[in-house]
Amino acid sequence: MIASENCSAKSPADIRIEILTADHLPAVMAIERASFRDPWTMTSFRDLMIQMRTNWTAFADECVAGYLITQWVLDEIHILNIAVSGNYHRRGIASGLMRFLQDSGRERNMQAIFLEVRVSNEAAIAFYKQFGFSVLSTRKKYYQDGENALVMCNHLTERAGKNADGETSCSV
C-alpha cells in the first residue's frame, strides 16, 4: 500500500474497494487533513471503525485514493464522510464509491441515503446531484464556523421516492 501523496493519476482510475482498516488510516488521515478545514481526528476514525463495518477505502494503482464513512440505521444510510486525494480528483474515484454504496444499499433493502454538505462546497454538491441526490432542507449554522449545511437525500427504491400522491419527492 502506498500513501496517496506519492501517487498520481494520469488516466481514469481502475478502483478497488476494501473495508477500511487500521492499516489504511495514515493514508486516509493525510487525505482528510488536505480535504477539510475541520478534519476528523484519528480517534474519530478509530471509534467509527470499531462501531461499524460500513466504511470503505478506494485504492487506485495500489494507492489509497479515497474513502467513504457511513452509518446504517434501520433502512437509512447516512454518509458521514467522503473524500478523494487531490491527486485523483475527477478520475471517478468518488463515483466508484457512490455506485458501490448505492448497490450495497439496494441489496440490503435500504430506502435512502442522507448527508449534510457545506452550502459553499460546490464540487461535492455537483457530485451528489450527478448521483441523483436532491436538497431536502437547510440546517442553519450546522458547522462550527457557522456555515449552513444542505441536507441532501437519494432514494434507493421507487417506493421510497414517492409521496402520498405518487409523485417523486425527497421527503420521508
Q: How many CB atoms lie within 10 A of CB 12?
A: 12
Active-site residue identified among 5, 76, 116, 147: 116
Report CA 133 to chain centroid distance, whole Å.
12
What's the rounded Cα separation, in Å, for the pair 115 and 98? 12
Q: How far is the CB of 113 from ligand COA (least distance, A)?
A: 12
Active site residue 18: no
What's the rounded Cα separation, in Å, for the pair 18 and 3? 16
What's the rounded Cα separation, in Å, for the pair 13 and 36? 23
What's the rounded Cα separation, in Å, for the pair 120 and 165? 34
Backbone angles phi, psi at 119, to 5 degrees: -60, -25
Considering beta carbons, is residue 53 or 89 the nearer one to ligand COA? 89
According to CB under 6 A, which one of 73, 74, 126, 164 is a site residue for ligand COA? 126
33 contributes a contact to ligand COA by CB under 6 A: no
120 contributes a contact to ligand COA by CB under 6 A: no
Active site residue 128: yes
What's the rounded Cα separation, in Å, for the pair 58 and 17? 5
Which residue type is seen at 76? E
13 contributes a contact to ligand COA by CB under 6 A: no
Contacting range for ligand COA; rule: CB under 6 A; set: 19-27, 39-47, 104-112, 116-124: 116-124
Contacts (CB under 6 A) with ligand COA, residues 135-164: none
Considering beta carbons, is residue 52 or 80 the nearer one to ligand COA? 80
Residue of 84, 71, 113, 112 lying closest to 17 (CA atoms): 84
Contacts (CB under 6 A) with ligand COA, residues 47-106: 82-84, 89-95
40 contributes a contact to ligand COA by CB under 6 A: no
117 contributes a contact to ligand COA by CB under 6 A: yes
For residue 45, the cross-strand partners are none
Task: Catalogue the active-site residues.
Answer: 116, 128
Residues binding ligand COA (CB under 6 A) = 35, 82-84, 89-95, 117, 121, 123-124, 126-127, 130
